[in-house]
């Protein structure tokens, strides 16, 4: 199954492309409406995922052009436009579905699968994911997701977050974390866990997002909502 993803937000497009690839799709990405329109015209895609507002040519214009040429390729809009008039305009232009930013990754993937089922194609490859509150982890891809953003993780950050999410609500001591993340013959410095926790917090807890990593002073850490 081939998907064309057109969105000028590189920080969203690139990791989302990797997630979709891991799901078993072949993904082409474009970052402006002009190149996206060209790919949509010449490529044999099973699904188009289009941002509404794009430089060069809007997603709405790409969709209209596609329908005028007689192509019935399913189109999913990703957009910050969320009024009823906007949704009607998008559907009238020929879109098959509409997802408002910020969105949940699992909802996006579910809508992709649904659109491909309708068109007679569907992937059966699935990736194990963990979800706590509004945070989702794709450990195989080393990415996490909170509404509206995809978070790229290092290998150790991904392993630590997975360990936290698999033990939500439990007190994890420094010794337990050390034993889980490093083998017996590895000897990281004594402050490496605190440094890793700081890096992970900066990535998964931004602005007003709910705090999930809680320090239990002198003992370790607890992961989840309301565990401070």
Whether 2-118 and 130-223 share one fold: the answer is no
Nearest-angstrom CA–CA distance, 82 and 75: 17
CB 134 within 8 A of CB 105: no
Asked whether residue 52 carries a pLDDT value surpassing 90, the answer given is no
Task: Please determine, looking at this structure, whether the domain spanning 130-223 carries the CATH number 1.10.10.10.
Answer: yes
Query: Could you read off the pLDDT of 150-171 as tens digits, one per residue?
Result: 888 999 999 999 999 999 999 9
Query: Could you read off the pLDDT of 181-203 as tens digits, one per residue?
Result: 888 777 677 689 889 999 999 99
For the beta sheet containing 143-146, the strands, ordered from the edge strand earlier in sequence to the opposite edge, are 130-132, 135-138, 143-146, 149-152
Asked whether residue 49 carries a pLDDT value surpassing 90, the answer given is yes
Coil/strand/helix, residue 75: strand
CB 117 within 8 A of CB 111: no
Asked whether residue 4 carries a pLDDT value surpassing 90, the answer given is yes
Task: Please determine, looking at this structure, whether the domain spanning 2-118 carries the CATH number 3.30.465.10.
Answer: no
158 phi/psi in degrees, rounded to 5: -65, -40
Asked whether residue 137 carries a pLDDT value surpassing 70, the answer given is yes
Total residues found in the chain within this entry? 228
Query: Where are the chain's structural domains?
Result: 2-118, 130-223
């Amino acid at each position: 199954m081939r998907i064309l993803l057109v969105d000028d937000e590189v920080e969203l497009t690139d990791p989302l492309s990797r997630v979709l690839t891991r799901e078993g799709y072949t993904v082409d990405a474009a970052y402006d409406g002009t190149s996206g329109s060209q790919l949509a015209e010449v490529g044999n895609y099973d699904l188009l995922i289009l941002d509404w507002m794009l430089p060069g040519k809007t997603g709405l214009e790409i969709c209209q052009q596609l329908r005028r040429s007689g192509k019935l390729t399913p189109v999913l809009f990703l957009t910050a436009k969320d009024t009823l008039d906007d949704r009607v305009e998008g559907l009238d232009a020929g879109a098959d579905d509409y997802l408002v930013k910020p969105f949940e990754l699992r909802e996006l993937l579910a809508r992709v699968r649904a659109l491909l089922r309708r068109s007679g194609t569907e992937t059966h490859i699935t990736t194990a994911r963990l979800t706590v509150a509004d945070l989702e982890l794709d450990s195989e891809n080393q990415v996490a997701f909170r509404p509206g953003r995809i978070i790229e993780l290092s290998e150790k950050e991904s392993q630590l977050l997975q360990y936290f999410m698999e033990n939500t609500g439990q007190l994890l001591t420094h010794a337990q974390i050390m034993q889980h993340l490093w083998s017996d013959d590895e000897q990281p410095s004594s402050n490496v866990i605190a440094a890793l926790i700081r890096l992970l917090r900066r990535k998964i807890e931004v602005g007003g997002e709910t705090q999930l990593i809680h320090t239990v002073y002198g003992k370790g850490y607890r992961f989840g909502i309301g565990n401070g």
